Amino acid sequence: MKKVIIILLAVIGFAANSAQAQDNLIKVNIFSPVVRTASVFYEKPIAEDKSVQLGFFYTGFSIEDVKLRGYGITPEFRKYLSASKQAPEGFYVAPFLRYQSLNMTLDEDSEMEDMNGKATLNAFGGGLLIGHQWIVGSRFVVDSFLGPSYSASNVKVTAGDQEEFDDSIGTFSGFGLRAGLTIGLRF
């Protein structure tokens, strides 16, 4: 949690120092609440056709007796492709990296009387997005994106018996899909 607070303060400080440029964007993923997650993104143009974005998410939800909590950080570089528009508007391609840390707890008072424990998942990966960002009026932003991702993950049981968990414990990797629709403000 300490790391999360430090990262948020750094993003806010960076945003405050460059607020005069009117090219800072703060956005939220509108689909995140569906999976009980909060996602926030900060984007800053660094050239006429380029920008950098830092995304952060926090999740915390329960399904019956299983509690899942964690966070993720997603830095990305965006190359805008439009000859008639400047960053941060228009079509873009964006390579990205992502780090995720999730903790799972199975409640000791679970209906599954013979099971309890804790496990952690740490994942690191990346991918490539294509997307389009619209500036509506002078202040509002709509951004849609889609692309493949790849990540390597490690699951470690930190309490309870490893046999109580699924057989997929350990190190694994695979492909996925990253997609989203964000809305936000330009300042």
CA distances from 134 to 83, 121, 143 (A): 15, 35, 6
Instruction: Give the per-residue pLDDT at 58.
Output: 98
Question: Where do the H-state alpha helices sit in 18-155?
Answer: none
Instruction: Give the per-residue pLDDT at 66.
Output: 87
CA atoms of 138 and 46, how far apart (whole Å): 19
Pairing status of strand 37-47 against strand 50-63:
antiparallel
Instruction: Give the per-residue pLDDT at 167.
Output: 53
pLDDT digits (tens, 9 = 90+) for 82-110: 999 999 999 999 999 999 999 999 876 65
pLDDT digits (tens, 9 = 90+) for 155-178: 988 776 555 555 557 899 999 999
User: Which range (26-40, 97-111, 135-149) has the least confidence?
Assistant: 97-111
CATH fold for the domain made of 2-186? Porin (2.40.160)
Decide if 31 contacts 58 (C-beta within 8 A).
no
- Model's pTM, two decimal places? 0.80
Instruction: Give the per-residue pLDDT at 174.
Output: 96
CA distances from 32 to 107, 171, 173 (A): 25, 27, 23
**pLDDT confidence bin for 111, thresholds 50/70/90:** low
User: Which range (27-31, 54-58, 103-107) has the least confidence?
Assistant: 103-107
| pLDDT at 7 > cutoff 80 | no
